[in-house]
Amino acid sequence: MTNAVETSALGYSPGGGFRIAELDLHVPMGAIYGFLGPNGSGKTTTLRLLLGLLRPQGGRVTVLGLGMPEHAPELLARIGYVPEQPHFDPTQTVDELLRFQAAFYPSWDWLAAESLLKQFDLVERKPFGKLSKGQKAKVMMLSAMAQRPELLVLDEPTDGLDPVARRDILSSLLHYVAERQATVIISSHLVHELERICDWVGVMDDGRLVTETPMTRLKNGTKRLRLSRLPADPMALPPAPFDRLAREGAGGPTETWIVGNWEPGMAEYFPANGISLDEIVDLDLEDGFVELLRAFRAAR
């Protein structure tokens, strides 16, 4: 089994015109997979389909080698989940809700839970509803990791948190992955945050997968090229070895192209076609993410 999670032609429509369409997702075993996309792109719906909380209307979901939702009870015992919104009883204390959670998981590790309680500086006797947003997020992460899952599914786990709380949560996550060789799917619209921790990334927009690639390839393979001496019709050029995502300044003496899947040797394409490549500018992950979305939307 090379992938912890796979979907094949996954389809789902909740109504209102939005739908997940023909989604083929591949999350490598042991990866920290960043699931990027603007709000409303379908990330949360997709995660709920992966967890069996929604039933596909087409296609197939495989998690840890088993079909979902047909093997949901067995699989959910091996998955830790942190939803976008707090889901615990606000009247229970931290200690009470952890004991309640532990009753459902034979794999629950109290030593790990107690270590995280100290690391997160949580007060066990305080009701969950009285905790700050950052403290609630820490309790949910603690609960998910204390289950010792093989797969962690995290839906916007640090959204709206202060930098200290985000750092504490992400640090504990990286420690868990290193210790347990677990697979993580982490959904977020905070591009720079995922850039620091993820080794794979999938980008969604309007229910469709824009790209799925190693993080280093997305970061290093998106460039801004400044060109001159172009032919009258650059679109009639031979097929390029890279992806042309955007074209700026068309018809002028110089043009700027945004390209994806770029590799150093590809620069030879331009002089071979009589074009001067004047400058190659690196784009950070956020700029690359924005350009990918623009190109995807323009092509539809």
Residues 264, 247 within the same domain: yes
Domain boundary among 197, 217, 237: 217
Residues 67, 210 within the same domain: yes
For the chain, the domain total comes to 2
Residues 198, 82 within the same domain: yes
| Number of residues in the chain | 300
Query: In angstroms, rounded to a whole number, what is the distance separating the alpha carbons of residues 174 and 172?
Result: 6
Q: Is 105 left (phi over 0), alpha (psi -120 to 50) or beta?
A: beta
pLDDT on residue 295: 85
pLDDT on residue 157: 93
Residues 8, 37 within the same domain: yes
pLDDT on residue 198: 95
Q: Say if CB 283 and CB 218 are below 8 A apart.
A: no
pLDDT tens, residue by residue, 110-142: 999 999 999 999 999 999 999 999 999 999 999
Residues 95, 117 within the same domain: yes
Q: What residue spans of the chain are helical by DSSP H?
A: 43-50, 72-76, 94-102, 110-119, 133-146, 163-180, 191-197, 215-220, 269-272, 285-298
Q: Residue 154 has which token pair?
A: 């995290």
Phi and psi at residue 63, to the nearest 5°: -125, 125
pLDDT level of residue 39 (50, 70, 90 thresholds)? confident
User: Minimum mean pLDDT among 60-64, 101-105, 280-284: which range?
Assistant: 280-284
Residues 251, 210 within the same domain: no
pTM: 0.91
- Domain-embedded: residue 28: yes
pLDDT level of residue 9 (50, 70, 90 thresholds)? very high
Percentage of the chain surpassing pLDDT 90? Answer: 74
Residues 20, 110 within the same domain: yes
Residues 254, 211 within the same domain: no
- Domain-embedded: residue 62: yes
- Domain-embedded: residue 124: yes
pLDDT on residue 168: 94
- Domain-embedded: residue 257: yes
Residues 177, 51 within the same domain: yes
* Sequence-distant (≥ 6) Cβ neighbours of residue 288 within 8 angstroms: 218, 219, 222, 260
- Domain-embedded: residue 288: no
Q: For residues 197-213, give the mean pLDDT.
A: 93
Domain boundary among 191, 217, 243: 217
Q: Which residue would you say has higher pLDDT here, 69 or 235?
A: 69
Residues 13, 87 within the same domain: yes
Q: For residues 218-236, give the mean pLDDT.
A: 87
Q: Residue 218 has which token pair?
A: 């997305």
pLDDT tens, residue by residue, 250-299: 767 889 999 989 998 999 999 999 999 999 999 888 888 888 888 888 87
The range of the structural domain enclosing residue 246 comes to 223-282
Domain boundary among 167, 194, 217: 217
pLDDT level of residue 1 (50, 70, 90 thresholds)? low
pLDDT level of residue 187 (50, 70, 90 thresholds)? very high
Phi and psi at residue 26, to the nearest 5°: -140, 110
Query: In angstroms, rounded to a whole number, what is the distance separating the alpha carbons of residues 237 and 249?
Result: 17
Q: What is the CATH number of the domain that holds 81?
A: 3.40.50.300
pLDDT tens, residue by residue, 27-36: 999 999 999 9
Q: For residues 198-224, give the mean pLDDT.
A: 92
pLDDT at 80 over 90: yes
- Domain-embedded: residue 297: no
pLDDT at 189 over 90: no
Residues 250, 154 within the same domain: no
- Domain-embedded: residue 205: yes
- Domain-embedded: residue 63: yes
Residues 134, 36 within the same domain: yes
